[in-house]
Amino acid sequence: MNTNEMPWRDRCFEDFRVGDRCEHRLARTVNGYDNTLFTLLTQNPAPLHLDHEYARAAGFDKPPLNSTFTLALVTGQSVADLTPNVMTNLGWSEIRLPAPAFEGDTIYSDSTVAALRDSASRPAVGIVELHTRGWNQAGTVVIEFRRTVLMYRRAHLPARPRPRPQAR
């Protein structure tokens, strides 16, 4: 089976090919509460994300999303499809925000496998580099970045215990 036709869920390192593209299943309409909560949880006091009047004075009709929220949201959208078998994230790079995202926008995303290589120090995993984009309902790209992960090889996947409910 061509890897672009192979289901995305539960892929391991050896299942990826450079150029494979995945349009992520999940989309999310972001509301003001999401933006405010994330901004407060991360102790980001920028009034641009919290104060509608300040945002208007800065030239926006409504507060733009906290950019690190946009990064976290689009990364999260990719996890179920691409990285449930990840050992760990190694990093994000080349993060670009070509247009602002706003409260009320619906964010969609896709990822393309940009590079693959063996791990020199961990034979149980390989290194996958992904190029991910997020866009709004108008098709405007609001974020793009590269994310590098350590992905398990199938023979080395850790067991996933699944306890059964106790009998009544």
Structural contact between residues 94 and 37, judged by C-beta atoms closer than 8 angstroms:
no
Report domain extents, the chain: 13-154
> Domain 13-154, what fold?
Thiol Ester Dehydrase; Chain A (3.10.129)
Q: Using N-to-C axis directions, what is the helix angle for 67-82 and 32-41, rounded to 10°?
A: 100
Torsion (CA) 19, 8, 107, 150 in degrees, nearest 10: -70
Q: Name, in order, each residue with C-beta under 8 angstroms of 32's C-beta and a sequence gap of 6 or more.
A: 63, 103
Sign of CA dihedral 61, 63, 66, 71: negative
What is the model's pLDDT at position 5?
61
Structural contact between residues 99 and 139, judged by C-beta atoms closer than 8 angstroms:
no
Per-residue pLDDT of the chain (168 residues; tens, 9 = 90+): 344 566 777 899 999 999 999 999 999 999 989 988 998 899 988 889 888 999 999 999 989 999 999 999 999 999 988 888 899 999 999 999 999 999 999 999 999 999 999 999 999 999 999 999 999 999 999 999 999 999 999 999 888 888 889 888
Tokens 């496998």 locate to 113
What is the model's pLDDT at position 141?
98
Distance (Å, whole) CA 154 – CA 56: 52
